[in-house]
Every structure is written in structure tokens, then in C-alpha cells.
């Protein structure tokens, strides 16, 4: 999953082989920005990205615009996935400690249980050919079983959803897109263990304008972006010819190349280099903490931005 910093030489006109080899000015600025939030907070940058989308919409007669959720529609703080798991574990422990049934485990135990539950859930997936992610509810059940508190699985899932909601902000780009293309159908796609209903709740909580957004998630059982199944499912569901659909996102493999393989148009909006480095530092800090209290288990943790 750690492909955010890779550059696709095939993307030519839109993303160039490097910031100095034909790359569009707004993409060079994006790669050099301190963070996604600082880049998109500048209205000039948002306008330049919307202009790039507009050129594709006009040239390819786009009927459906698809937007990746995390790090595109919703902007995260500069922490890694492991750092987010750590925050969830701390908050879950505090929630139980303040209830009638206090936690008989430490936050570190909850973090280890989250790591182990994730590996088990992904390892036991049945439809590997379709791709996809195990749903959060299943992961939460395993976490709480490992902690000998199966009765708290719903609270754990709720806590993780709350932490995800607190961590993100709505990208100003979304308002710019909706203003420029009021008649264009819009959907949101995510390769994520959060299901479409949970992601919809986050989008709604972040005051996304208009009617409730249509969301597709790899946790829903219809394939993933990375495997291509989700793009095929969305095209069928929305009754659109793939060449008239445009997907934009931050992951080179799942948001750009996979969409292209499925016949979609796509636009790559990568993480800035400095933000990727910050997330790696966050990951290394939490992994070192795991090594201190759990020996070699830290080596089970792979970096995911």
C-alpha cells in the first residue's frame, strides 16, 4: 500500500516523470507543499486543480466524476495508520475506564490487539480474487475478543469511527468541483475497512454540501479499486461507459493505474513529499514504542500512510 511517493512516467501530460520533466505547475506545487491541507487551503491551487479536471471533463465527455475519500476528499493529519490505531486504543481505554465496567487492560494491549486482528482479518478473507477489505465491525469483534471483552465490540467500532472523523477535514477542492460542475454526477470511492455507510457518516459530519453522497467502499464486498472490481461495479451501478468516467485520487496504483486498466479516465493527486516523510516519522515513533513493550511484534507492522 506504500506507493504514494511513486511517480508514474506513463502519466505524461498530467503528472510527468518528475517535477522537472513536463509536470503541470500545480502538481509540482503539490509535491513540494508542506502538507495536503496547506496546498488546498490556497484557493489558487484549488482553482488550478479544478481547471485540470475541467479539461478532462470537456475532452472526454465525462458523465461521472469519482473521488477517492481519504487524502483526496477528506484530508488527514500528518500521522500514519499505525498512529491512528494508537489514538483509537487510547480513546477506547479511556471510554471504558470512565464507564461502570472499567478496562482490565492497558492501551498498549488494545493497540496490539488491533494489529493482530487486522492481520488475521486480512489473512482470512475469502474472496481474494475480488480484492477488498474486511469490515471494521469484524475487526472490532476480534480486537475485543482478544482483550476478553467481546461485549465492547460495538463501542470499539464506534470509537474508531469517532477518531477517524476527528482526524480529517473536508478538502476545499470538493466545493470548487461542485461549483464548477453542478450537473455532473459525483461519487466517492475508498479502499478501506470502513464501509460505505460509515464513510458517508464522516462526510456528512464534515458538512459536505448537497444531498447525502453516494459512497462505495472495498469493505462492502464488491471488490476494490486496486483490484479493479470496484471500478467495474460502479460503472455498472451508475450506468456509465468507463471511458466517460473520471476518477481522481492520491494513490498511484489504486487511484490512477487501476482506473486506467478498467478503461476509466484518471487524475493523480499525490501526497506531498514532506507529508509522506512526516507520516513515516509518525510510524517509526509508534513502532519503536511497540518494540519496547512487545518485543519483536513491531516487525509485524508495515507502513501505511
Q: What is the dihedral of CA 276, 279, 281, 283, to 10 degrees?
A: -130
Tell me which of 153 and 129 has the higher pLDDT.
153
| pTM of the model as a whole | 0.86
Cα 82 to its chain centre, rounded Å, is 14
- Residue 295 clears pLDDT 70, i.e. is over it: no
More confident residue, 55 or 100: 55
pLDDT, tens digit (0-9, with 9 covering 90-100), for 221-274: 899 999 999 999 999 999 999 999 999 999 999 999 999 999 999 999 999 999
pLDDT of residue 124 exceeding 60: yes
- Confidence (pLDDT) at 131: 73
Arithmetic mean of pLDDT, 195-203: 95
Task: Say what the pLDDT of residue 11 is.
Answer: 35
Question: In a 10 Å sphere around its CB, with 0-12 CB exposed, 13-18 middle and 19+ buried, how is residue 198 labelled?
Answer: buried
Q: What long-range pairs does 206-214 form, CB within 8 A, spacing at least 24?
A: 206/74, 206/165, 206/168, 206/169, 206/170, 207/170, 208/73, 208/170, 208/174, 209/175, 209/178, 210/178, 213/186, 213/187, 213/188, 214/186, 214/187, 214/188
Amino acid at each position: 500500500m506504500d506507493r504514494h511517493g511513486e511517480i508514474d512516467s506513463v502519466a505524461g501530460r498530467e503528472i510527468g516523470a518528475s517535477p522537472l520533466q513536463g509536470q503541470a505547475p500545480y502538481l509540482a506545487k503539490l509535491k513540494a507543499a508542506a502538507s495536503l491541507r496547506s496546498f488546498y487551503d490556497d484557493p489558487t491551487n484549488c482553482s488550478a486543480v479544478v481547471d485540470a479536471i475541467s479539461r478532462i471533463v470537456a475532452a472526454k465527455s465525462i458523465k461521472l466524476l469519482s473521488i477517492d475519500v481519504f487524502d483526496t476528499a477528506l484530508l488527514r493529519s500528518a500521522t500514519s495508520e499505525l498512529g491512528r490505531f494508537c489514538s483509537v486504543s487510547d480513546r477506547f481505554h479511556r471510554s471504558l475506564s470512565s464507564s461502570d465496567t472499567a478496562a482490565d487492560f492497558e492501551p498498549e494491549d488494545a493497540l496490539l490487539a488491533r494489529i493482530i486482528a487486522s492481520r488475521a482479518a486480512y489473512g482470512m478473507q475469502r474472496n481474494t480474487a475480488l480484492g477488498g477489505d474486511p469490515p471494521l465491525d469484524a475487526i472490532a469483534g476480534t480486537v475485543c475478543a482478544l482483550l476478553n471483552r467481546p461485549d465492547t465490540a460495538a463501542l470499539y467500532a464506534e470509537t474508531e469511527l469517532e477518531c477517524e472523523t476527528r482526524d480529517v477535514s473536508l478538502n476545499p477542492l470538493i466545493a470548487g468541483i461542485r461549483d464548477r460542475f453542478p450537473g455532473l454526477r459525483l461519487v466517492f470511492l475508498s479502499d478501506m475497512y470502513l464501509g460505505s455507510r460509515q464513510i458517508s457518516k464522516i462526510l456528512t459530519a464534515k458538512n459536505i454540501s448537497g444531498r447525502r453522497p453516494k459512497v462505495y467502499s472495498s469493505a462492502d464486498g464488491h471488490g476494490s479499486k486496486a483490484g479493479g472490481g470496484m471500478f467495474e461495479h460502479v460503472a455498472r451501478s451508475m450506468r456509465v461507459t468507463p471511458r466517460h468516467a473520471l476518477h481522481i485520487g492520491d494513490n498511484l496504483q489504486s487511484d490512477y493505474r487501476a482506473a486506467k486498466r478498467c478503461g476509466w479516465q484518471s487524475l493523480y493527486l499525490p501526497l506531498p513529499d514532506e507529508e509522506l516523510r512526516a507520516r513515516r516519522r509518525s510510524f517509526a515513533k509508534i513502532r519503536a514504542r511497540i518494540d519496547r513493550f512487545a518485543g519483536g511484534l513491531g516487525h509485524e507492522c508495515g507502513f501505511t500512510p
